[in-house]
């Protein structure tokens, strides 16, 4: 399979790569997910920019311009990528519509398939500022209350809103924590100071899961955080670099792993306490780090360089001239990059991550994603 990634011509590489990814996703969707998931689950997502499908733009009017979205959507949708995010691929694997941002009041959506509360820049702490995990959960509670009111109303549109059973059987996805760690380092905190904050971050996520459980949720899908120290943004901004064998910041990745160990332990603890709940922990870190460490196998040429940014080699990232802003440059479509803008991943990388997530090799306990389909 890897040999298909090794063509030197960019257009040839792009054709074979997209074909391979499309075929692989199709295989993963059949016969299990697409065939058996005739009634996809309602999905609610909470998180940061890794899963924001337009919340920042809808909520604050912030401009996320082209070339974001150039590959799949052919326009900017508020996603920080050239195309689809991991969450988009996961939704497509269940044959359901892509999640709309909760704050998006346009387009006539009634959120029948769920809603996305994730917002760019979100963290768990401090907990009472927009758009922390706590605020996202408050938004969800309001959304649920209003939805149930409308679902029980006598008007002819009541069938267009999520019922109590819909909320009970929904899939609740959480992907947050990266910004907490990043913000700590950005403030000048040492490694030891940063890891001391991690129990508080884990506690907030734990409280969030228990809160959703108390609201009736029973199905949870929890992503750990990726290799923070491999992001071109971090590599370009840190002066004293403690690099590992693959050129990533060792201390940043160590902090991410410390967080992930705590998150894994928290999930195990909740499984024993919430016995009627399904709590799946997804090892995103291992998947993403593998893309960096084995980039040649996947056909990626510059694993630590942003496709869209400014500054050129080795990282092509400048905090003052970021992707989409005046002066920035962008690689050609089909180029062999992992990072899109120095922080987020390019669609082709997200497609590989999605395939690995759906393989069940990185989920604990191993669970097919179509398990959450309504039977």
- Catalytic residue list: 49, 341, 344
Q: How far is CA 126 from its chain centroid?
A: 21
Q: What is the largest CA-CA distance in the chain?
A: 64
Q: How far apart are CA 215 and CA 232, in angstroms?
A: 40
Pairs from 143-151 (Cβ < 8 Å, separation ≥ 24) = 143/102, 143/111, 143/115, 144/215, 147/111
Q: How far apart are CA 217 and CA 211, in angstroms?
A: 9
Q: Which residue has the tokens 């070339």?
A: 67
Q: How far apart are CA 259 and CA 369, in angstroms?
A: 24
Helices (H), the chain: 10-28, 34-36, 55-60, 86-93, 133-151, 164-168, 178-186, 191-214, 232-237, 250-273, 284-293, 295-298, 347-358
Contacts of residue 326, defined as CB under 8 A and 6 or more positions apart, other chains included, come to none
For residue 206, which phi and psi values (nearest 5 degrees)? -60, -45
């Amino acid at each position: 399979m890897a040999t298909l990634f090794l063509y030197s011509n960019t257009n040839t590489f792009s054709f074979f790569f997209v074909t391979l990814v499309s075929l692989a996703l199709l295989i993963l969707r059949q016969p299990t997910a697409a065939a058996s998931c005739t009634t996809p689950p309602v999905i609610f997502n909470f998180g940061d920019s890794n899963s924001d499908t337009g919340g920042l733009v809808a909520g604050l009017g912030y401009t996320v311009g082209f070339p974001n979205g150039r590959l799949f959507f052919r326009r900017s949708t508020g996603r920080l990528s050239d195309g689809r995010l991991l969450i988009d691929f996961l939704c497509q694997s269940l044959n359901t519509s892509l999640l709309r941002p909760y704050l998006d009041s346009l387009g006539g959506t009634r959120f029948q398939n769920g809603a996305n509360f994730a917002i760019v820049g979100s963290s768990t702490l401090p907990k009472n500022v927009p758009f922390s995990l706590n605020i996202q959960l408050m938004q969800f509670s309001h959304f649920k209350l209003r939805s149930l009111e409308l679902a029980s109303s006598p008007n002819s549109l009541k069938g267009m809103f999520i019922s109590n059973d819909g909320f009970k059987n929904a899939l609740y996805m959480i992907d947050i924590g990266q910004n907490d760690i990043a913000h700590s380092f950005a403030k000048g905190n040492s490694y030891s100071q940063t890891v001391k904050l991690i129990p508080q971050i884990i506690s907030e996520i734990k409280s969030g899961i228990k809160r959703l459980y108390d609201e009736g949720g029973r199905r949870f899908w929890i992503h750990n955080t990726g290799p923070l120290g491999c992001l071109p943004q971090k590599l370009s901004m840190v002066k004293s670099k403690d690099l590992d064998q693959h050129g990533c910041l060792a201390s940043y990745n160590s902090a991410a792993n410390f967080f992930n160990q705590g998150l894994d332990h928290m999930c195990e603890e909740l499984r024993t306490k919430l016995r009627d709940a399904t709590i799946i922990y997804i090892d995103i870190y291992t998947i993403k780090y593998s893309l960096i460490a084995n980039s040649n196998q996947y056909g990626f040429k510059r694993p630590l360089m942003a496709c869209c940014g400014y500054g050129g080699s080795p990282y092509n990232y400048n905090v003052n001239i970021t992707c989409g802003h005046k002066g920035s440059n962008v690689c050609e479509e089909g180029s062999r990059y992992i990072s899109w803008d120095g922080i987020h991943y390019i669609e082709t990388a997200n497609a590989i991550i999605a395939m690995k997530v759906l393989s069940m090799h990185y989920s604990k306990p191993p669970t097919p994603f179509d398990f959450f389909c309504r039977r």
